[in-house]
Chains A and B, each alone.
Chain A
Amino acid sequence: MVNVDSAERERYRALLREGPSRDGEPVAPDLIWRAAAGELDPQQTDALLERSLRDPEVALAWQMAVELHDEMSVADARMSEATDRGTSEARPELDNVVPLRPPRTPVQRAAPWALAAGLTLALGAIFFFGPESVPEGPDTLRSADAPVARIAATSDATLPRDAFVLAWSLPESVDAARYRLWLTTEELAPLAELRDLDGAEVRIEAATFDGLADGTRLLWRVEAQAGGERIESETFVVTLGPARGD
């Protein structure tokens, strides 16, 4: 989809959410959640979708449901990874429960955006690490179905907390993309969420890791918007290393 970029798409999304209150009975949020999850029959889904065109409240609830579903997929990826390693610590009655760090301060909330501005620093840092710490390995970026793209990604590496650079790439056959990246602890406590990245690498500010011990394993994943298609990566694992101090 090259005819509408992410900024234009975001503008349209916002316009659908805005508008006067609707007449008639409001739609139960739970019903909208189920529609977004594909749990309703097609007729019900159609009806709700049409209503979302006329009713900003429904559009808002739908968009929020999709956003939360995306967050849940991070938890699913975490579970898959734990299962693959044969070290699932999940409790069966509470699987996918996500522990959370204490509420972030406004400064911490702003940090990811500042990080994006520091993207250019990443080039130098990546050079420092060299190819052995950013393996050109077989990790796979894949969408939920057919298209499969190979990537190289920062994985299974120990990264100094003061030069913490994550890098990835799409194959040349895929059009230029914008990226969204999530970084969490192994317990899925969110550390950073960076949106609208236009480069395939990012340096994470050292302050992001305050309170985390050296040797802490961290999870990250990236989502590419390429030609209007969303391509989600696997979840990669890196280890937080001590500061280099230079």
Chain B
Amino acid sequence: MSDTALSAIRDDDFERIRTVLVAAVRKLCPAWLSAQVDDLVQDAMIRVIEARKRSETDEALRASYLWRAAHSAVIDEIRRRQRRPETAFDPEAPDPASLGPGPERRAADREAGDALRDCLQTLIDSRRSAVLLYLHGHGVARIAELRQWNHKRAKNLIYRGLADLRDCMAKKGFDRGERR
């Protein structure tokens, strides 16, 4: 990191920004990437510094931007490794495949994943949207806010959507996401 880049951030801010980035990267980093935490923090820090240089304001130093930069750094690295797995080779690093499920389990997961996607596709639009947001981790209140529904409508759509999803999965021979 160049002195010019570092000068975009005051010295007394630097360590505190770094602690936020470390926290965020550690939160997101999968086990097979854990050896790369320092590199990912560095990557996120560079994103923050670049954003700070582009902006006249301190927006890039706000916590919300720091978390966002960490998110982007981790996601980009996961993608890079998944698309070019050969670059992940490091004799001292754990093999991602060895940390994950075996081939049979992966095949079963692939089959269940395909069934889940098929079933979600069959849901009516509003229910699919509600269920997807729910499965991505949003709560009912947040879903209502994002979709501009009232709370009751959001809750009903999730409830009915999940019921439809379960029925569909059952017809395909799955119970709770597992082959019966």
A residues at B contact (CB < 8 Å)? 1, 3-4, 7-9, 11-16, 18-19, 21, 26, 28-30, 32-33, 36, 38, 42, 45-46, 49, 52-54, 56-57, 59-72, 75, 93-100, 103, 143-147, 190, 228-230
Contacts and interface: CB of A to CB of B under 8 A. Distances in A.
Interface of B: 13, 16-17, 19-20, 22-24, 26-28, 58, 61-64, 66-68, 70-72, 74-76, 78-79, 82-83, 109-110, 112-113, 116-117, 120-121, 128-129, 132-142, 144-148, 151, 155, 158-159, 162-163, 165-166, 176-178
A29 B177 contact: no
Contact of B19 (A63, A93, A98): A98
Given A38-B146, A145-B151, A11 B178 contact: yes
Given A1-B159, A16-B116, A145-B151, A26 B26 contact: no
B27 A33 contact: no
A246 to B, nearest CB: 36
Given A7-B176, A11-B177, A71-B67, A60 B17 contact: no
Contacts, number: 178
A53 B121 contact: yes
Contacts of B129: 46, 49
Contacts of B28: 64, 67-68
B71 A16 contact: no
